[in-house]
Amino acid sequence: MRFLFAAFLSVLALPLWAQVNVKPYTSPGGIEAWFVQEPSIPFVAIDVAFRGGASLDPEGKYGAVEFVMAMLEEGTGDLDAVAFKKEQERLGARFSFSSNRDAVEISAQILNETRDASIDLLHRAMVEPRFDDDAFARVRAQFESGYRSDLEDPGTIAGVAMAALAFPGHPYGRPLEGRLEEFQTISIDDLRAAHKGALAKDRLLVSVVGDISEDDLGVMLDTLFDGLPETGAPMPERAEYALSGGVTVIDFDSPQSIAIFAQEGISFDDPDFFPAFVMNRVLGGGGLTSRLATEIREKRGLTYGVGSYLASFDYGDLYQGSVASANEDIAEAIALVRSEWERLATEGITAEELDAAQRFLTGSYPLRFDGNGRIAGVLTGMQLNRLPIEYMDTRNDKVNAVTLADVSRVADRLLRSEDLHFVVVGQPEGLATQ
Amino acid sequence: MRFVTALIFALFPVSAFAVDVPVTNYMLDNGMEVVVVEDRRAPVITHMVWYKVGSADEPPGKSGIAHYLEHLMFKGTTTRDVGEFSDIVAANGGSENAFTSFDYTGYFQRLASDRLELVMELEADRMVNLDIPASEFEPELGVVLAERNQRTDSNPGSLLTEQRRAVEFINHPYGRPIIGWRSEIEALTPQDVMDFYKAHYAPNNAILVVAGDVDPEEVLRLAEIYYGVIPANPEIKDRVRPAEPPRLAAARLSYEDPRFTQPYLIRSYPAPVRESGDQRAAAAATMLAQVLGGSGVTSVLGKSLVLEQDIALAASSWHWDQSYDPQTLAFYAAPKAGVSLEDMEAALDAAILNFMETGVDPEQLDRIKAQIRASLVYALDSQNGLARSFGEALTQDLTVEDVLAWPEILQSITEDEIMAAARDIFDPSKSTTSYALQPETN
């Protein structure tokens, strides 16, 4: 039935899209948000980010910001941890608090019928956490258990080791060693300070999607962020990439080896980002259809998972990937990663590959926008990447504008197989640190 | 699953639906059931085909065959080359995946709503026309073994789960891992796979679920064109698996691995699952698990072991409510540093005993019911989640009506029913207790 496929291809150029109507909104109190009114389900999804995140951990206090985020649901005002959680359960509200290297994030889903009380509860959690002694001790013990587990988790070992080799001395590059000891020196006063430094209005990004009027949205936003400090802790410096090509083997007793590989990446605001993004779809970003997956998984059955991505962060950029193989196979998998890196750098990609990549990247873009919670998350992600609100309307055009010559130029500039560094955790056969 | 990790595991007991989900249900003449869930917010659809066959339906000695077949379903048909299915989906901007569980094997695509006919044609084609080049079997077996390496053999928690299930089920194939035992995977042949495919893949053993921006009448029209023309396989009968004999002896196992920096224990009991038209016993078990350990320190175990006695880092419980044959209700407890698993277990037993005497806190039950009501609203926000809920339920011989009735049944469960469920389920002679710990170092 090939004709059917052809018939569908002919309509691909149509825009299948333009349904998400995002508006910039400013509340009476001056809080800015990206807003989508979506009345069909009686709730709102709120996605809040504060730039800086775990990179704002004070010197010698690894984990302080992440600890703060965990403590936000451990009591506020006259509610201790248990009373807080009971109240949240009664209201049917869902809150999640998290942190990563560039931001802390708060996601909430709130029913219309309990909106005011839920917003009040979330506001108090964010602005006046209690940091009670007993909750502090309980959550600290949970983190300590997690830090000990990290030391026995090969994926974590490899990922952290790669960041430490790439960005030594920067918050991005804190090694696993010493994390637990630093964490254990954190006091409640340290948490109060980290809280003030991480959650401030000068780094606030907000997205709201759901069933709420503009008037109610203004009240909601002014309630939610009332009392936050205007300014927070100074942002980190840029991370200098310090790694050269090679292999670092970390011995770990396991039947398979995990390899994380990286070279210096490309910044999100670089004019060549889109050609690089399309190129990576072909090289290692295309699930089972990428060159890396074709060579390592589909043809040879050496791995279950292999891929690469542009790890572009606020203060440093990696072009990173990973592959896991049995200890006896990992050297072959790594050699194939190198040779595919080299092949693309010298030969570029074919017109068919460019076409397939553009079709997928443009066609799948709308799939990210099916749900209030997902849309709110995507909008905040766009704000974190400093994209304009019109980006959604132009993003597919930017993908489609990439030419073979653009990809060749970027491949020549970016891909350096001799600079690829592999961190291998396991007992790989035929590989040694070099 | 082909890409990411996690063979399907029903860890969270509350699956939720609002009664006003716009759902339509048909049966094609060849016995293929069709479910359509409308969600018109975005021009996107989810298309899923679920087969009522999983790892528990494998012949003895051939564990892993259902999952291996799932991988091979992407390796070509009489009219399509290896990988062409995925290439076409990707060229149309679609994402796809597949998954295997004990009771089902599912394939799904998400893409723009005007591509429904395209994926239907592709999926119908590989329902009966699979034609895999001989050279593809061996590398894909390597991929499956690498998957087992990555997800099971490199993960002490997964290894313990595998060992635990082998003890929890005396005779039922739920005691075998979905991905298969390594020695049996290695011995699987192309003939084994194709025999399994021909025996189980047919419209009368499949369920079509389409969710998203679609007109149910149009879905039915297309389903008749593409799936309706495939003849039923009259050899396919209702599944009958080896039954569990009565469990008479409590079982214990202890797995030592240096990677268990955090010790924990799991206690499990056989427990009822949802039966079509008769979901009340399972609902009571689900609510029991919620009361005991559904939400951290506001539930019975968390309050006692984590807060009051301050000896556990975390405690929880879950009930496996949805399954073709009965599964388990289980507790998890992770002790604080310096507390032994034996002491943890004694405290857990004492907390359960205390609960049996004091009963359900009505305020807690109200809070759980408020959360279930809220989850009905939030469930509507996930097209994929809704589609999946219906598909999974229907492979386990529940009906659309059962799925829609479930939240109301949960809401109606009383304190007395929960305590009766506890008395039925917590029979010490039926328990399995598993320890995860590091070897002694001196």
How confident is the model over B374-400, as pLDDT tens digits? 999 999 999 899 999 999 999 999 999
The DSSP-derived string for B213-260 is S--HHHHHHHHHHHTTTSPP-TT-----PPPPPPP-S-EEEEEE-TT-
**pLDDT above 80 for A274:** yes
Among the partner residues B114, B142, B383, nearest to A301 by beta-carbon distance: B142
The Cα-based distances of B432 to B253, B315, B368 in angstroms read 8, 17, 27
Does the pLDDT at position A11 exceed 50?
Answer: no
* pLDDT for B8: 31
Nearest to A152 by CA among B160, B157, B218, B46: B157
State the best of B81, B138, B150 to mutate against chain A, taking most chain A CBs within 10 Å.
B150
Per-residue pLDDT band at A59 (split at 50, 70, 90): confident
pLDDT of residue A20 exceeding 90: no
Backbone angles phi, psi at B73, to 5 degrees: -65, -10
Return the SS3 of A207: strand
CA distance A72 to chain B (A): 15
CB contact under 8 Å between A365 and B93, yes or no, is yes
The predicted pLDDT at position A19 comes to 66
d(CA B140, CA B151): 16
User: What percentage of chain B has pLDDT greater than the value 70?
Assistant: 95
What tens digit of pLDDT does each residue of B122-146 get?
Answer: 999 999 999 999 999 999 999 999 9
CA distances from A410 to A167, A231, A353, B320, B333 (A): 23, 39, 16, 51, 52
Residue among A40, A107, A145 with most chain B CBs within 10 A, to mutate: A145
Q: Hey, is the C-beta of B115 within 8 angstroms of any chain A C-beta?
A: yes
Average pLDDT over residues B106-118: 95
Q: Does B70 participate in catalysis according to the annotation?
A: yes
DSSP β-ladder status, A79-80 and A32-37? unpaired
pTM: 0.93
Q: Does residue A14 surpass a pLDDT of 70?
A: no
- Give me the residues of A, 392-431, that contact B with CB < 8 A: none
The band of B13, judged by pLDDT with boundaries at 50, 70 and 90, is very low
Q: How far apart are CA A259 and CA A247, in angstroms?
A: 10
Interface of A with B in 109-168 (CB under 8 A): 109, 111, 138, 141-142, 144-145, 148-149, 151-154
Q: How far is A365 from chain B (nearest CA, A)?
A: 8
Tens digits of residue pLDDT in B148-195 = 999 999 999 999 999 999 999 999 999 999 999 999 999 999 999 999
pLDDT value at residue A164: 96
Q: Locate tokens 């018939």: which residue?
A: A7
| Interface contact B370, partner A, CB < 8 A | yes
Residues 277-306 of B with CB under 8 A from A: 295-298, 303, 306
pLDDT in the model for residue B442:
52
Kind plus residue range of the DSSP H or E element containing B319: strand B312-319
Tens of pLDDT, residue by residue over A128-173, are: 999 999 999 999 999 999 999 999 999 999 999 999 999 999 999 9
Q: How far are the Cα atoms of A94, A351, B9, B282, B301 from residue B315, in angstroms, in the given order?
A: 20, 55, 19, 22, 6
Predicted confidence (pLDDT) at residue A288 exceeds the cutoff of 90: no
Q: B276 and chain A: CB distance < 8 Å anywhere? A: no
Average pLDDT on A384-412 reads 95
Secondary structure class of A18 (helix, strand, coil): coil
What is the nearest CA distance from B159 to chain A, expressed in angstroms? 13
- pLDDT, residue B42, reads 87
What pLDDT score does A380 carry? 98
Per-residue pLDDT at A1 exceeds 80: no
Q: What is the pLDDT of residues B286-324, one digit of tens each?
A: 999 999 999 999 999 999 999 999 999 999 999 999 999
Give the residue with greater pLDDT, A237 vs A287. Answer: A237
Task: Locate B314 and state its tokens.
Answer: 């975390």
The pairs formed by B118-122 with CB atoms below 8 angstroms and a separation of 24 or more are: B118/A4, B118/A5, B118/A8, B118/B88, B118/B92, B119/B47, B119/B89, B119/B94, B120/B47, B120/B222, B120/B223, B120/B225, B120/B226, B120/B227, B121/A1, B121/A4, B121/B226, B122/B80, B122/B85, B122/B88, B122/B89
Average pLDDT over chain A, rounded to an integer: 93
Q: Is B434 on the interface with A (CB under 8 A)?
A: no
- Residue B170 — φ and ψ, nearest 5°? -75, -40
Interface test with B, best of A11, A89, A253, A372 (most B CBs within 10 A): A89
Chain A residues 79-98 within an 8 A CB cutoff of chain B: 81-82, 85-86, 89-94
What tens digit of pLDDT does each residue of B353-370 get?
999 999 999 999 999 999
* Residue A77 touches chain B, beta carbons under 8 Å: no
For range A399-420, the mean pLDDT: 96
